[in-house]
């Protein structure tokens, strides 16, 4: 299943990537599972790990760990927002 993944702000800098097209393994069905999958990639990617303050959006809507992934989705990971 292919999805697009975006990273913003300090998280973008930590993982060294702004955007990637990703073929998600069959067992990764949710945002939370995708986050865990990415966190396991190694150096820099631990910024997505357990205990880190990470927010996510699914198709440009703020979403929780249980949100279900579908092919073609746009996923984004980022730190808590600081605009305004």
Partner 1 sequence: MSVSVSVQEADFDTGAEIAALSAGQPEVGAVASFVGLVRDTSEGSDVSAMTLEHYPGMTEQALEDIVAEAMQRWTLHGVRVIHRFGPLLPGDQIVFVGVAGAHRGESFEACAFIMDYLKTRAPFWKHEETPEGGRWVDARESDESAAKRWSEGWDDIEQRR
In the bound state with partner 1, the residue whose beta carbon lies nearer, of 45 and 79, is: 79
Of the candidates 67, 8, 59, 60, the one whose C-alpha atom is nearest the C-alpha of residue 34 is: 67
**Nearest-CA neighbor of 5 among 80, 72, 83?**
72
* Binding of residue 32 to partner 1 (CB under 8 A): no
Q: Answer yes or no whether residue 34 interacts with partner 1 by CB under 8 A.
A: no
Both tokens assigned to 40: 């396991």
Question: What is the dihedral sign for C-alpha 14, 24, 3, 36?
Answer: negative
Question: What part of residues 43-72 is at the interface with partner 1 (CB under 8 A)?
Answer: 53, 57-58, 60-65, 67
5 binds partner 1 (CB under 8 A): no
Per CB under 8 A, residues contacting partner 1 are 6, 8-10, 53, 57-58, 60-65, 67, 76, 78-84
């Amino acid at each position: 299943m292919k999805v697009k993944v975006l990273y913003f702000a300090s998280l973008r800098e930590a993982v060294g990537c702004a955007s990637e097209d990703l073929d998600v393994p069959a067992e990764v069905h949710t945002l939370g599972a995708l986050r865990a999958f990415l966190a396991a990639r190694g150096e820099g990617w631990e910024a997505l790990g357990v205990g880190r303050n990470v927010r996510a959006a699914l198709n440009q809507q703020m979403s929780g760990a249980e949100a279900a992934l579908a092919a073609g989705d746009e996923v984004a990971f980022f730190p808590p927002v600081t605009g305004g």
